[in-house]
Amino acid sequence: MYEWIKAIHVIFMVTWFAGLFYLPRLYVYHAMPENSGSFALFKIMERRLFAIMTIGAGITLGFGLIMLALNWQYLMVATHWFHAKLLLIVLLLGYHHACYKLMIKFRNDANTHDHKWYRWFNEAPSVLLIVIVILAIVKPF
């Protein structure tokens, strides 16, 4: 049963990250004044994508907690890789929340960043994904 739980966890992690990769890319285009004719469409796309990625995040976290309940020793033993992974997940949740706040700014036509800022902002989930996967698979420390 554990392998099924892990499989569902990974499937919805992919869903979550797909949203984390694409939503900021929408922000890049939404922040470009030459795309003003598409702003209403961007708002709809951003809202729907945020909903899908939030569902992915919730299911990912839920099944991650189930795996943690089945392997509670990770919290008690000196598994530094796991503690580092948990910290990065907290950062990822912060990034998810930042995406929400930016979506609200776009919705209210109150964006304060240019498209170049969003291009850099878009890189964060890639870095987090790489490090989280290395921690979970390689367990380097």
| Predicted confidence (pLDDT) per residue in 37-85, tens digit | 999 999 999 999 999 999 999 999 999 999 999 998 888 887 899 999 9
Q: How far is CA 81 from the centre of its chain?
A: 20
Question: H helices of 71-139, where?
Answer: 73-76, 80-107, 115-121, 124-138
> Binding residue per annotation — 9?
yes
14-15-17-18 Cα dihedral, nearest 10 degrees: 110
Other C-beta atoms within 10 Å of 23: how many?
A: 22
Please report the pLDDT score of residue 139 as a whole number.
93
Residue 8 pLDDT exceeds 90: yes
pTM, full prediction? 0.94
Phi-psi region of 139 (alpha: psi -120 to 50; beta: other; left: phi over 0): left
**DSSP summary character for residue 27:** H
Residue type at position 72? W
Please report the pLDDT score of residue 75 as a whole number.
82
Other C-beta atoms within 10 Å of 102: how many?
A: 22
C-alpha span between 84 and 18 (Å, rounded):
23
Please report the pLDDT score of residue 54 as a whole number.
98
Q: To the nearest whole percent, how much of the chain has pLDDT over 90?
A: 93
| Predicted confidence (pLDDT) per residue in 108-120, tens digit | 999 999 999 999 9
Phi/psi at 113 (5° precision): -115, 150
C-alpha span between 45 and 33 (Å, rounded):
18
> Binding residue per annotation — 96?
no
